[in-house]
């Protein structure tokens, strides 16, 4: 798989760890949107598009975020740590919608996206810079767990 194009929409908020939304075109024929560039403690990294996971209240069946302590609907106390754990014992709160299945592919995407991001940051310093037109999903920043 070759990455043919990366479009980068910078996020203009210095306090935000979310630095950009990207859309990545693979082999000139498949596009993945909502890939994010996040500033972590060890530098920039790329987060795959993901959805928050939820579960249902035992009492009323309403949907709640996995970290909610009480049911949104009936107020019942929800058991803590009910999220599934990954291999390192961390709570799985998000599920990737699209993601690489091996380290080589992850590295390739990461390199291309970060390079495109840094290029866009440079461009944005030029006078008359026009940001890329892109929809910004109304979404939370994925949690950084290290």
Q: Catalog residues that contact Zn ion under the rule CB under 5 A.
A: 57, 59-60, 62, 71, 73-74, 76
Least distance between Zn ion and beta carbon 55 (Å): 11
Q: Which is nearer to Zn ion, 8 or 71 (CB)?
A: 71
Q: Which is nearer to Zn ion, 1 or 74 (CB)?
A: 74
Contact, 95 vs 84, CB < 8 A? no
Cα 77 versus chain centre, distance: 29
Look-up of token digits 């994925």:
142
Least distance between Zn ion and beta carbon 91 (Å): 20
Q: Which is nearer to Zn ion, 25 or 54 (CB)?
A: 54
Least distance between Zn ion and beta carbon 70 (Å): 8
Q: Which residues contact 129 (CB under 8 A, 6 or more apart)?
A: 123
| Sign of the alpha-carbon dihedral angle for 120, 19, 44, 126 | positive
């Amino acid at each position: 798989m070759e990455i043919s194009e990366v479009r980068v929409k910078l996020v203009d908020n210095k306090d935000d760890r979310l630095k950009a939304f990207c859309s990545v075109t693979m082999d000139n024929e498949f596009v993945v949107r909502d890939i994010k560039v996040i500033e972590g403690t060890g530098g920039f990294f790329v987060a795959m598009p993901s959805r928050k996971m939820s579960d249902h209240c035992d009492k009323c069946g309403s949907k709640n975020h996995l970290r909610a302590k009480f049911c949104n609907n009936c107020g019942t106390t929800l058991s803590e740590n009910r999220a599934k754990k990954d291999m390192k014992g961390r709570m799985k709160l998000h599920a990737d919608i699209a993601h690489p299945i091996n380290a080589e592919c992850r590295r390739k995407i990461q390199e291309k996206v970060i390079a495109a991001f840094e290029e866009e940051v440079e461009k944005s310093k030029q006078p008359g810079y026009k940001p890329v037109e892109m929809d910004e999903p109304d979404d939370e920043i994925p949690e950084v767990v290290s």
